Structure 1
Amino acid sequence: MTAFTEEMDHEKPEVVMPQIYEYVSEHTRSTLSPDFDFALEPRIEEPPNVEDRRERRGESLWRVLNERHISMIAFSGTIGNGLFLGSGTSLAVAGPGGAVLCYIIMGTVISSVISCLGEMTSLMPVNAPVMEFPRRFLDRGVGFAVGWMYWFAYAILAADELVAVSNTIKFRYDDGRTFLNWKIGEDVDTAVWITVFLVLAVTINMFPVKVFGELEYVFGCIKLIFITMLIMLMLVIDVMKPRSNAYYTQSLGSKYWNNPYSFFNPVYSVTDENGNIQRTIAGAAGIFLGMWTTIINVIFSYVGMDIIAATAAESKKLADAESMKMGARKISLRIITLYTFGMLMGSFVVPRDHPFLNGGGQSVGSHSIFIIAAVEAGLPSAAHFFNAIFVFSSFTCSINSTYVASRVLYTLALRDQTGPEFITRRLRQCRSGVPIRAVMATGFILLVSYLGSTGAPGQRLSELASNCTVSCLIMYIVICATYLKFFQTLAYVKNYGNASEAQAAMYDRDNPRYPYKSHGQWLKACYGLVACTLLVLFNGVGPFLEHPFDTRRFIASYIGVPAFVFLILGYKIKKHGLKLQNWGPERSNDLKNTIQTNSDVRVGRLELPYEGLWTRENLRTFGRWVWVWLK
């Protein structure tokens, strides 16, 4: 392992590839040219029974996760209180149409980033692709910096979700007509709840990864069913005849989109850190500021979609090109669709000027448009159920974030990038395929969640969470820039390299067996790169509008940028000292170990075998196609 890590990160510009498994069927091999074997070298056949390769103790993760586990881990890690609790702020600031538009816009940005990552990983299945590909195509220092920012972002995100759990348990709703509260949440100190859920999150992450994957599959299914039910319930509330105990006497319809309301909120309110309104900005400037602020808030809802690639080291089908392709497409389609419809249905049943969305309310749960809608529709019991799911949602997101952070730290240790050898050696250690020490080290960082228990320290954690969002945006910028360099390298090798015909076919995006191609992907990469760069540069617009200037909030909005630069500089100084002439880009542009699909029938594409529509085989094919997209 020491030799492996030294080769991976030290001293030679040429990257030595990590061990991967590729699958090529005998039928496929027989139809290829003799050069194809050379194009695949070096190639390692995976034993028929992967279980036989496991070691109870060692420095290796177990490849035991199926596609359904990977998809649900990413789904469960993304679906959190960004929508359930944060959508109320979006509705109040941007208006109903503006809020829906913000979710769609940010959905297209993040989807562009994920498709970049998905294409590279499908063609070259490697461990930790978020860090490995920048090392290959941009610079090793960039890969090092992305790795540490990736770990910090998810560790802080896990802590923030623990605080959200403790705050959501303190449920109280009192609008003068309906009174709801959870006495146990109000009577027990916040620190106690943080302790309980922190211990549970770390403990679950120490389960064997097969057990963890099954739990995450169950968690993801619960969230998927709940959010689907929530959207349908909001639609029913909007169109049904009001109950006798409802707050209104006529069905709502599009009432909250019509006069005196509007598509956008035409007035932007500048508030201080305590929520007090300092001044208002009306007209076009107010609409623009409301939309921009909401887009920045919505980013938090989408953080987690990149988890689809973070599970690569434990994927049973790492070398199955179709697995990563389907995972990337499904997570984008599911999240954007559910978020957009969730925000749309919520905007029809709650007005943007509701007092609980604009500084009122007695608890975090009372700010949720879904709880407000349930209470005012005369369904107070549903409000209790919703809040319970919100607690569950925050807790499971904390589990997922801890998982991602621990695997990132483990990968950094494999590359000797975690400090002294005695620390690095321990962080590499696994038991039953789980990096126990990396999980414990990440759990130690989660102790910062106690900053969020009361008062001003809670503001400090909120600022750390803001920095987490910026760190993720920087990571997305790097992914898009990496893809553009990868795209350029593919074109160069295909057109000007000395590769054989079989090798050149591996790099041809127009080849029918190219694993994952999105049309206009380089344009999507440019779109994601520009959009995320603008969001990083102007995410701190709020402090400039406040009086006096909020220095601390400004620093929280931008500290991630110099931190990223300093990490790169630290890597260069450690490796080359102050010899600036050696600080140039260190990249290999390595395209070895690329793979192709092993079948002309592509997973996820509906191709009916017979012309007649209602044949039995066509129906079976259609059923299998539906299941592929649902599982």
Structure 2
Amino acid sequence: MAPVAGEKELPNALPHTTATQVPLRRLQRSMDARHLIMIALGGVIGSGLFLSSGYTISQAGPLGAIIAYLIGALVVYLVMACLGELAIAYPVSGAFHIYAARSIGPATGFTTAWLYWLCWVVALGSEFTASGILMQRWFPAVPVWLWCLIFAAVLFLLNAISARVFGEAEFWFSLIKVVAIVGLIVLGGAAIFGITPLSAEHPPAILFSNFETPDGLFPGGFSGVIVTALAVFYAFSGSELIGVAAGETKDPAKNIPKALRSTVLRLVVLFVGAIAVVAAILPYEQASVTSSPFVDVFEYVGVPFAADIMNFVIITALLSAGNSGLFSCARMLFSLAEEGHAPQRLAYLTKRGVPIVALTVSILIGLVSLLTSIIAPGTVYLVLVSIAGFAVVAVWMSIVASQFFHRRAFVRDGGDIKTLAYRTPLYPALPIVAFALLFISIVAIAFDPNQVAALYFGVPFVGACYLYFWWRHGRKRQADDASAAPVGAGASE
């Protein structure tokens, strides 16, 4: 895992234990910047925007929802700015825990990896289930479980062939979603000013009259905006997938910064633009009762077959998120195995450089997660979902903290920051501000009854990971250090 030119490699926090197959077969750098951008968008844009944006507006009000998404976009930019420097310094697959292990400590890296893996494994089950339910609109006689198996098989094959096939599939999956959102922004934006060429009714210009609700601009108070902003952080989760794919990217020093900048810009335009249009067109009182605000807006502007079009788009969005999630899960397990923190068999690669064992384990556990949502929704599945929700912000905190300590160690060891291919701007203020905002959001969860379960289960899970790491690796390392100590003169390592 060599650093880029001009970058000093930090000492490994724990000796590597690499699988015997790994030196013969490596992950292939076959993805371009456009693949990275669409992978990140694929992980971010999902049912949260297409289905839940109306609920967001009902909680914070039209203007409050826009402000909440702007706050979320700011935090995403701060995290991505930190991620850029780390992803180029350590361009390896499943890199989040590598950043933390090298910059903070091996126990933090271990915990970060398992948090993020669990986050996406749980998401896989929910994506398959939701897709199967939506397919019943067209095929009511086909059971949901059968659709779940079909979708799981398709995503497994896309990931199992090669990283480039996965990247191409994710590019087109994400492109469908982006086209739908751009269509909503363009047609809905014109309708706000009374331009509706597709509509037979031609409603008049409404401008921004819906922003003033019976209870003022902020019907839930500014606290409603803050609580909504917490939910928006989770809505933006997935943007960090660029770091997961760093090890399979061509020319990471060039393509990763380009992808990061483009991803943040696209997220701001797509998310904030879509929310602004939905908030302007849908009356505030109706926002929370619609099944999909996108359907209502498309019907308002006169798009034919709006419900069927959006059903297809939402299914695509769910499968796209599942595709990115499965890729992330496999790379995280592969990277853990390379570090010696998971069974070595998980590091096995096919001739095309695909971690097939890690991929198989991830899809199977994802299906188990799906079963728990049916068999034990109020116990096991609740715990899994709560930890997954907590994991998003916890991983982001790990990224910004890793950048802070990485840069400090780099300068302390005599490194010249001018040689870095990408530098996080405004250091050290930027990572400190980012960490503070994320920490505040974690604390604020305790005051939201709908999200407090994330703390009940997330914090103990983190503690359990640290304890297990110390029990499994800490004591062994102490014993190794004792046995490796020089006995007399001339002893060497």
Letter in structure 2 aligned against 1:150: Y
- The counterpart of 2:409, out of the listed 489, 492, 516, is 489
Kindly state the Cα deviation for residue 212 of structure 1 after the two structures are TM-superposed. 1.9
- The counterpart of 1:569, out of the listed 444, 467, 472, is 467
Distance, in Å, in 1 between the alignment partners of 2:195 and 2:103 is 59
Q: Deviations over 1:14-44 (max 9, x none)?
A: xxxx256x57xxxxxxxxxxxx8xx8899xx
- The counterpart of 1:368, out of the listed 287, 292, 295, is 292
Distance, in Å, in 2 between the alignment partners of 1:375 and 1:168 is 19
Kindly state the Cα deviation for residue 403 of structure 1 after the two structures are TM-superposed. 0.5
1:296 aligned partner: 230
Distance, in Å, in 2 between the alignment partners of 1:412 and 1:456 is 29
1:70 aligned partner: 36
1:594 aligned partner: none
Letter in structure 2 aligned against 1:337: V
Letter in structure 2 aligned against 1:573: W
- The counterpart of 1:219, out of the listed 160, 163, 173, is 173
Distance, in Å, in 1 between the alignment partners of 2:308 and 2:380 is 30
Kindly state the Cα deviation for residue 430 of structure 1 after the two structures are TM-superposed. 2.6
Kindly state the Cα deviation for residue 450 of structure 1 after the two structures are TM-superposed. 3.2
Q: Which stretch has the larger CA shift, 563-572 or 247-256? A: 247-256
Distance, in Å, in 1 between the alignment partners of 2:111 and 2:373 is 31
Counterparts of 1:53-452 in structure 2, within 5 Å, are 59-170=25-136, 182-184=137-139, 186-240=140-194, 249-258=203-212, 260=214, 262-266=216-220, 287-318=221-252, 321-354=253-286, 357-358=287-288, 360=289, 366-379=290-303, 381-419=305-343, 424-451=344-371
Distance, in Å, in 1 between the alignment partners of 2:297 and 2:426 is 41
Q: Deviations over 1:406-438 (max 9, x none)?
A: 11111111122114xxxx225424342111111
Kindly state the Cα deviation for residue 444 of structure 1 after the two structures are TM-superposed. 0.6
Distance, in Å, in 2 between the alignment partners of 1:247 and 1:296 is 39
Contact 1:92-1:352 within 8 A present in 2 as well:
yes
Distance, in Å, in 2 between the alignment partners of 1:204 and 1:69 is 14
Per the normalisation by structure 2, the TM-score is: 0.86
Distance 1:450 1:519, change over 3 A: closer
Contact 1:109-1:527 within 8 A present in 2 as well:
no
Distance, in Å, in 2 between the alignment partners of 1:352 and 1:515 is 47
Letter in structure 1 aligned against 2:461: A
Distance 1:40 1:389, change over 3 A: same
Distance 1:206 1:259, change over 3 A: closer
Contact 1:74-1:306 within 8 A present in 2 as well:
yes
Identity among equivalent pairs (%) = 24
Kindly state the Cα deviation for residue 149 of structure 1 after the two structures are TM-superposed. 1.2
Distance 1:444 1:251, change over 3 A: same
Distance, in Å, in 2 between the alignment partners of 1:222 and 1:146 is 32
Kindly state the Cα deviation for residue 265 of structure 1 after the two structures are TM-superposed. 2.0
SS in 2 for 1:252: coil
1:526 aligned partner: 432
Letter in structure 2 aligned against 1:326: K
Distance 1:67 1:244, change over 3 A: closer
Distance, in Å, in 2 between the alignment partners of 1:87 and 1:61 is 38
Distance, in Å, in 2 between the alignment partners of 1:132 and 1:352 is 45
Distance 1:70 1:188, change over 3 A: same
Larger CA Rg, structure 1 vs 2: 1
Contact 2:383-2:457 within 8 A present in 1 as well:
no
How many residues of Structure 1 are paired with residues of Structure 2 in the alignment?
A: 471
Letter in structure 1 aligned against 2:206: L
Contact 2:194-2:202 within 8 A present in 1 as well:
no
2:399 aligned partner: 479
SS in 1 for 2:398: helix
Q: Deviations over 1:80-115 (max 9, x none)?
A: 222111211101111001101111101111221111
Calculate the aligned-residue CA RMSD, in Å: 3.2
Kindly state the Cα deviation for residue 582 of structure 1 after the two structures are TM-superposed. 12
Kindly state the Cα deviation for residue 77 of structure 1 after the two structures are TM-superposed. 2.0
Distance 1:344 1:456, change over 3 A: farther
Q: Please, which runs of 5 or more residues in structure 2 have no aligned partner?
A: 11-20, 482-493
Q: Deviations over 1:41-97 (max 9, x none)?
A: 99xxxxxxxxxxxx9995422222222222222222222222111211101111001
Contact 1:247-1:376 within 8 A present in 2 as well:
no
Distance, in Å, in 2 between the alignment partners of 1:215 and 1:96 is 35
SS in 2 for 1:198: helix
Contact 2:76-2:236 within 8 A present in 1 as well:
yes
SS in 1 for 2:413: helix
Letter in structure 1 aligned against 2:370: Y
Q: Are 1:514 and 2:409 an aligned pair?
A: no
Distance 1:452 1:263, change over 3 A: farther
Distance 1:91 1:573, change over 3 A: same
Q: Which stretch has the larger CA shift, 427-436 or 521-530? A: 427-436
Distance, in Å, in 1 between the alignment partners of 2:166 and 2:39 is 9
Distance 1:561 1:59, change over 3 A: farther
Kindly state the Cα deviation for residue 311 of structure 1 after the two structures are TM-superposed. 0.8
Kindly state the Cα deviation for residue 248 of structure 1 after the two structures are TM-superposed. 8.5
Kindly state the Cα deviation for residue 263 of structure 1 after the two structures are TM-superposed. 2.3
Kindly state the Cα deviation for residue 337 of structure 1 after the two structures are TM-superposed. 2.1
Distance 1:245 1:295, change over 3 A: same
Contact 1:61-1:430 within 8 A present in 2 as well:
no
Kindly state the Cα deviation for residue 347 of structure 1 after the two structures are TM-superposed. 0.6
Distance 1:540 1:203, change over 3 A: farther
